[in-house]
Chain A
Amino acid sequence: MHDIHTIDPVTRIEGHAKITLHLGDDGEVADARFHVTEFRGFEEFCKGRPVAEMPGLTARTCGICPVSHLIAASKAGDAIYAVTPPPAAIRQRRLLNLGQILQSHSLSFFHLSAPDLLLGMDHDPATRNVFGLMQAEPEIARRGIRLRQFGQEVIAAVAGQRIHGSLVVPGGVARQFTTEMRDRIVADLDEMMGAATATLELLVSVEDRFERELHSFGEFDSIYVGHCLPDGTWEHIDGKLRIMAADGSMLVDQLDPHDYREVFGEAGKTDSYLKSPYYRPYVDGDDPRPGMYRVGPLARINLAERFGTPVADEGLAAFRERYGRIARSSFLYHHARVLEVIACVERIAALMEDPVLFEEKVRSQAGINALRGVGASEAPRGTLIHDYEVDGNGLITAMNLIIATGQNDLAVNRTILDIAREFVDGPQLTDGMLNRIEAGVRAYDPCLSCSTHAVGQMPMAVSLIAPDGETLAEVRRD
């Protein structure tokens, strides 16, 4: 038996979590576990409902990335109807996903992480938050607010509203994209490009201060998984999956998401409602940990050769010069996120010039043609897969959702363990250590509401547990 520390709640993570740190006989932290304790049960209660309802229902798994669920659910629906959405609909969905990544990354960076990065991890907690940032650095806070607002406006233009929009449907989207919508977006583009590049400069200028975090926040080898085009260009919604080993060699390229079960297994856990997917070929036996992989911004930029847009590619080149071709530290998720923000703005700008976006035909109609459909895309936090089975009437008979935060679960546990080893000293939980565990978890930007769709969710508590099972220290904030 082990000793456990629990941190509860990990604030500024969307959702709630509980962490236990188990001490070994030598008094060092031997194991760290991240538990999800809330259960909502989407995969069960969606059974018996028509596939056409899935975009609207599954969007409610998460208020931060509802668009990702809209898209994955619609793509799974496309597969069941065996239709290809019209080109304009594909463009609109691309635009929507870019808006989503942009707004979610801005929320993660400015609202949730910038207070730590800019004000310092040991800054007074009373003002180490977005409101404190607004006071201390109003210009920077404003940039973040504007970038997020812009991303949400792009979403509202396509989906009808900022959160839980309803205009993305199997077969395409519900309405034509107009030049008025374009004009509103175009009017803000220069400001957004300026805000995004200024953010990158700012981040680069402070990154040196975090040498210790860089090496202790999840610096390890892992597999990387995400969408990527065959020629190595960064991709977020179309195309197939690339799976890369820690040294950059290719394990699988262009895997059709439909066949994900061939390479990924899912480990259910006894102490959490979160499932942990793993890379099957590396696992032999019950322990899924050798199959640990990372998804999300860091994985995507490791997988890709290039963004395919000039400003983001310039940033990527500088990043690689500094951290190497494969960036290993999860602390660099922040940097990857900011590079993706730039890429999103550039790609939104390019789409605004694409005449196909404005075409009138936006939806293909068909009946039920296949009894299984898999839809996948890159959510801000990583690869998202919706897998549905239906009966002849299109009613769901089985559903599996593979969520980014679940896929990062093994890596998150490993990160917490590394941080705890570096910062936990003796049987006490210091505030500085708690801040760092929180910040380490937050680097992944885990979205706990949606990761616990099937089996649960959490407020966060950290406990420190001794080898005999006794709780030595416990911190809860609720």
Chain B
Amino acid sequence: MSRPKLAVWKFASCDGCQLSLLSAEDELLTLAAEVHIAHFLEATREVAPGPYDVSLVEGSITTPADVERIQRVREISTTLVTIGACATAGGIQALRNLADVEAYRALVYAHPEYVQTLARSSAIAEHVPVDLELRGCPVEVPQLIEVVSALLAGRKPLIPTHAVCVECKLRGNVCVMVADGTPCLGPVTQAGCGARCPAFARGCYGCFGPMETPNPSALTDRLHAMGVDDPTLVRLFRTFNVDAPAFRTEARRREAIDAGADGRTP
């Protein structure tokens, strides 16, 4: 049997996620022997023709050319895995989805004959069916290796969908919210990082995006009672996963409360 073909694709991103793959030095050496890394521009100029057994897609869709290219990538890929917050939720650049479009217009539409940009940055899954999502900003190397090896072995990858809180407890961290009153998105954020930030006594800022069944309103009500003001709560949900539906909705809800739109006194 010929070696399975792996491709790595880049859209709008910082390249941090695909570099995580390059950082898995030891595993990469083994992997390079087992799979044909057929398309990985950070590492090689060889572009073997598709179809590819596994395509890892980094980055979000931000240009008309991206919209077409992702269709092509989908057509020639058996399994398509999105990697990182850019690909799974539009990334930090999706902050521009909220901004005053006029402010960007001069920049973005200045010279459409040479360069073209869409008004929104969107997740890959808004454009094509995605088989598997790997979260994080950036993705975690062990999770990336797990996904690739599982797919090659034909088994289901083990990727948890519970909250960071669970990992925090397993790690034996002191809860930063209870102990120091630090705002933390751990209760609504998907696990996978090993609760890294709370381990350094910092609140989780949600780089893995929402867990499977989050309850962000309960969290923000609690944080509000602890004295965190609404603009801060809104910003808490507006970082690398600003356009993930659960975070987007909660930020809007807090914004409405801040504006007094729900009839409550802010």
Q: A12-B45, A44-B104, A66-B14 are in contact. Are A57 and B239 (CB under 8 A)?
A: yes
Q: Mask for A449-478, Cβ within 8 A of B = 1, else 0?
A: 110001111010000000000000000011
> A163 in the interface, Cβ–Cβ < 8 Å?
yes
Bound Cα distance A167, B116 (Å): 36
Query: Which one of A50, A126, A162 lies within 8 Å of B46 (CB-CB)?
Result: A126
Q: A163-B19, A449-B15 are in contact. Are A125 and B202 (CB under 8 A)?
A: no
Q: A11 at the A/B interface (Cβ < 8 Å)?
A: yes
The CA-CA distance from A272 to B47 in the complex, in Å, is 26
Chain A positions within 8 Å of B41 at CB level: 9, 11-12, 16
Expressed in whole angstroms, the minimum distance between the Cβ of A406 and any Cβ of chain B is 15
A175 within 8 A of B: yes
> Is the CB–CB distance between B14 and A61 below 8 Å?
yes
Chain B contacts to A: CB under 8 angstroms: 10, 12-20, 22-23, 25, 29, 32, 37, 41-48, 62-63, 65, 69, 91-93, 95-96, 98-99, 103-104, 107-108, 110-111, 114-117, 121, 137-138, 196-197, 200, 202, 205, 207, 235, 239-240
Interchain CB contact (< 8 A) of B114 among A40, A44, A50, A272: A272
Chain A residues with Cβ under 8 A from B63's Cβ?
Answer: 37-39
Interface size of A in residues (CB-CB distance below 8 Å): 65
Rounded to whole angstroms, the CA-CA distance of A44 and B101 in the bound complex is: 11
Asked if B92 and A60 sit within 8 Å, CB to CB, the answer is: yes
List, sorted by A's number, 25 A–B pairs whose CB atoms are closer than 8 Å: A11-B42, A12-B41, A37-B115, A37-B116, A38-B63, A40-B96, A41-B93, A41-B96, A41-B104, A57-B92, A60-B137, A60-B240, A61-B14, A63-B138, A64-B15, A111-B43, A130-B44, A134-B32, A160-B200, A175-B200, A272-B114, A459-B10, A459-B65, A477-B47, A478-B47
Residues of B within 8 A of A42 (CB): 92-93
Q: Give the distance to chain B from A190, nearest Cβ to Cβ, in Å.
A: 20
| A166 is an interface residue with CB less than 8 A from chain B | yes
> Which residues does chain B contribute within 8 Å of A459, judged by CB atoms?
10, 65
Within 8 Å of chain B (Cβ to Cβ): is A445? no
B15 touching A164 by the CB < 8 A rule? no
**Number of A-B residue pairs having CB atoms within 8 Å of each other in the complex:** 167
When the two chains form their complex, are residues B115 and A62 in contact, meaning their CB atoms are under 8 A apart?
no
Tell me the A26-56 residues at the B interface (CB within 8 Å). Answer: 35-42, 44-45, 49-50, 53, 56
Chain B, interface SS category:
loop
Chain B residue numbers with a CB within 8 Å of A44 are: 96, 99, 103-104, 107
Query: For residues 65 through 124 of chain A, which have their beta carbon under 8 Å from a beta carbon of chain B?
Result: 66, 107, 111
Residues of A within 8 A of B15 (CB): 14-15, 62-64, 449
Q: Are A35 and B43 within 8 A (Cβ)?
A: no
- Chain A window 136-179, contacts with chain B (Cβ cutoff 8 Å), 1 for yes, 0 for no: 00000000010011001000000011111011000000110000
A272 touches B197 (CB 8 A): no
Within 8 A of B (CB), among A238-268: none
Name the B residues within 8 Å of A66 (CB-CB). Answer: 14, 16
Known: A60-B14, A131-B44. A270 touches B114 (CB 8 A): yes
The 8 Å CB contact of B115, one of A40, A130, A175, A273, is A273
Q: Tell me whether B202 and A166 are in contact (CB under 8 A).
A: yes
B110 touches A270 (CB 8 A): yes
Measured CA separation A134–B22 after assembly (Å): 13
Give the CA-CA distance A431 to B143 in the complex, in Å.
38
State in angstroms the CA–CA spacing of A24 and B63 once bound together.
Answer: 31
Shortest beta-carbon distance from B148 to chain A in Å: 15
Cβ-defined contact, A160 with B196, below 8 A = yes
Specify which of A42, A131, A160, A450 lies most central, judged by the most chain B CB atoms within 10 Å of its CB: A131
Of the candidates A49, A60, A107, A127, which one forms a contact with B16 in the assembled complex, judged by CB atoms under 8 Å apart? A60
Set B10, B32, B95, B207: member contacting A16, Cβ < 8 A = B10
Instruction: Report the Cα distance A40→B207, complex, angstroms.
Output: 18
Min CB distance, B123 to chain A, in Å? Answer: 15
| A216 interface contact, C-beta 8 A | no
The 7 closest A-B CB pairs, nearest first, are A63-B16, A129-B44, A45-B95, A271-B114, A11-B45, A40-B93, A39-B117
Asked if B14 and A45 make an inter-chain contact with CB atoms under 8 angstroms apart, the answer reads no
Q: A126-B46, A164-B137 are in contact. Are A457 and B12 (CB under 8 A)?
A: yes
Report which residue of A38, A130, A270, A459 has the largest number of chain B beta carbons within 10 angstroms of its beta carbon.
Answer: A38
CB–CB B200/A167 < 8 A: yes
Closest to A435 in B: B45
Are the C-beta atoms of A12 and B44 separated by less than 8 Å?
yes
Q: Which residue of B lies closest to A69 (CB)?
A: B14
Give B25's nearest chain A residue, CB to CB: A145
For A389, the chain B residues whose CB sits under 8 A away are none
Q: For B65, list chain A residues within 8 Å (CB).
A: 37, 459
B43–A131 contact, CB under 8 A? yes
Once the chains bind, are B115 and A11 in contact (CB under 8 Å)?
no
Task: Give the residue of B45, B93, B110 whose beta carbon is less than 8 angstroms from that of A438.
Answer: B45
A128 within 8 A of B: yes
Given contacts A37-B63, A39-B108, A44-B103, contact A62 B14 (CB under 8 A): yes
Q: Which residue of A lies closest to B91 (CB)?
A: A60
The interface residues of chain B lying within 8 Å CB-to-CB of A134 are 29, 32
In the complex, which of the residues B19, B45, B115, B235 contacts A39, with contact meaning CB atoms closer than 8 Å?
B115
In Å, the complex CA distance between A456 and B66 comes to: 13
Q: A131-B44, A456-B117, A477-B47 are in contact. Are A166 and B197 (CB under 8 A)?
A: yes
B20: chain A residues within 8 A (beta carbon): 163
Give the CA-CA distance A175 to B200 in the complex, in Å. Answer: 8
Measured between beta carbons, the chain B residues less than 8 angstroms from A164 are 16, 137-138, 207
Name the B residues within 8 Å of A9 (CB-CB).
Answer: 41
Q: Is the CB of B16 within 8 A of A163?
A: yes
B residues less than 8 Å from A152 (CB atoms): 23
Residues of A within 8 A of B96 (CB): 40-41, 44-45
| Nearest residue, chain A, Cβ from B59 | A38
CB of A40 within 8 A of CB of B62, answer yes
The answer to whether B115 and A272 touch across the interface, beta carbons within 8 angstroms, is: yes
With contacts A41-B93, A107-B22 taken as known, whether A449 is within 8 angstroms of B42 at the C-beta atoms is: no
User: Within the assembled complex, what's the spacing in Å between the Cα atoms of A35 and B114?
Assistant: 8
